Structure 1
């Protein structure tokens, strides 16, 4: 089974069947959401238009994870200026030096295999390469949203569940930056997080080298004998 994280494109969006595929809680302000909510397919069109806008004006704004070539999850992120829905949170605004991670979704049949962590790591590497220092996210203390509702999201994050759980964010390196009973704002300092992981991986490689048994001498070279 092959697993790969790559840049999110509009083609990938068309392949995703996630309930949050048509969620515009982050991308539209409450007034505009009300204007388009009764139009069939309008939410998905708005998401496509938003992705196109951000790609054009800021650059890559998402990652998608492919399992055997099939899209099984995605993550969206952008500067807060592109995400008017963020103003709904009591712990807003996002820090001036940070990008905002909004949605992280993995299909139910592909969960518990590390794909969510792969998406966050792919996002982190993208942002570090672009000189961005940190990423923040509004967490949800109610746990995994479940993604069991296909209804259009409401204006308030309590109704939308378009928010990653605090437990998930904590498991992939985020720390609470501004506490809140329902939606704390969490933060990952990208350079320190990636450097820490790289150091751990290097230490493990050294440890494996120490405990790996030495290769056995070939039968032709018994002790005390010279080749020839």
Structure 2
């Protein structure tokens, strides 16, 4: 059953999946430029790997401030039969996400909004494009000219992870959440184009115009008619890197 997508309101913050409402990889910078840095903790995931910096208090405070000052900044996917939130996409003016400055392909274009994270719950990975569609539709309505995102192109080999940790976490693995960096392939498949090359962390851009959301949906529907369906396992692999 297809998910429905709605804009997140602050009163619905508690409905977000645990990682989505706790991870502050994008919102908190350990260099001290972000507030309440002492409250940030790092927790291991169920698989034993580092989950990244977490602080539910700071995530809610960041969301509240951005909703008040800028407007909608998160789209959530809801499974209709249970009304459970099964995915979320966060986006923001780049100046409100301190981590963006650490990427080697920064800065984000002055006319663009930054798509930071699209995180889907297990079993709903293929619905990521539906959530991105909702982000694009919202930004087109608001007259935004472009949306940009940082991708991750490397595999989870030790060299790639060491470089990402050094660049984005000042050498601290606990300060990096790989799960909250979008796979480059996912962005490219949606129509984003690389505007700043990097072997591991390129910056991609999608120009926005009226009808873009409708056009992308039609193109994907036509593609499904002429090509074999993409196995769910391929989509899941992109998110598990």
Report the TM-score when normalising by structure 2. Answer: 0.71
The 2-side partners of 1:136 and 1:124 are apart by 11
The 1-side partners of 2:212 and 2:187 are apart by 15
- Structure 2 gaps of 5+ residues are 44-52, 157-164, 223-241
The 2-side partners of 1:91 and 1:62 are apart by 24
Deviation at 1:81, TM superposition (A): 1.3
Report the TM-score when normalising by structure 1. Answer: 0.74
Give the structure 2 partner of residue 132 of structure 1.
144
The 1-side partners of 2:5 and 2:213 are apart by 20
The 2-side partners of 1:22 and 1:93 are apart by 25
Give the structure 2 partner of residue 35 of structure 1.
38
User: 1:87 is paired with a residue of what secondary structure?
Assistant: helix
Cα deviations by residue, 1:61-84 (Å, 9 ceiling, x for unpaired): 010011112110000001011111
Give the structure 1 partner of residue 133 of structure 2.
121
User: 1:64 is paired with a residue of what secondary structure?
Assistant: strand
Give the structure 2 partner of residue 109 of structure 1.
123
Cα deviations by residue, 1:122-168 (Å, 9 ceiling, x for unpaired): 00010011110100000001369xxxxxxxx9835973212101011
Deviation at 1:48, TM superposition (A): 0.6
Cα deviations by residue, 1:190-227 (Å, 9 ceiling, x for unpaired): 117817817956xx7xxxxxxxxxxxxxxxxxxxxxxx
The 2-side partners of 1:47 and 1:173 are apart by 29
1:213-224 matches, within 5 Å, as none
- Structure 1 gaps of 5+ residues are 145-152, 205-228
User: 1:109 is paired with a residue of what secondary structure?
Assistant: coil
The 1-side partners of 2:20 and 2:213 are apart by 32
Work out which of the residue numbers 162, 170, 176 in structure 1 matches 2:194.
176
The 2-side partners of 1:173 and 1:192 are apart by 15
The 2-side partners of 1:102 and 1:198 are apart by 20
Task: Give the CA RMSD over aligned residues.
Answer: 3.0
Give the structure 1 partner of residue 22 of structure 2.
22
Moved more, 24-33 or 160-169: 24-33
The 1-side partners of 2:129 and 2:27 are apart by 24
Work out which of the residue numbers 151, 165, 175 in structure 1 matches 2:183.
165
Deviation at 1:39, TM superposition (A): 9.6
Deviation at 1:10, TM superposition (A): 3.0
The 1-side partners of 2:42 and 2:87 are apart by 26
User: 1:90 is paired with a residue of what secondary structure?
Assistant: coil
Distance 1:122 1:3, change over 3 A: same
Give the structure 2 partner of residue 54 of structure 1.
66
Do the aligned partners of 1:175 and 1:186 also contact (CA within 8 Å) in 2?
A: yes
Distance 1:4 1:91, change over 3 A: same
Do the aligned partners of 1:13 and 1:21 also contact (CA within 8 Å) in 2?
A: yes
Deviation at 1:19, TM superposition (A): 2.7
The 1-side partners of 2:139 and 2:128 are apart by 17
Structure 1 position 186 matched with structure 2 position 204: yes
User: 1:35 is paired with a residue of what secondary structure?
Assistant: helix
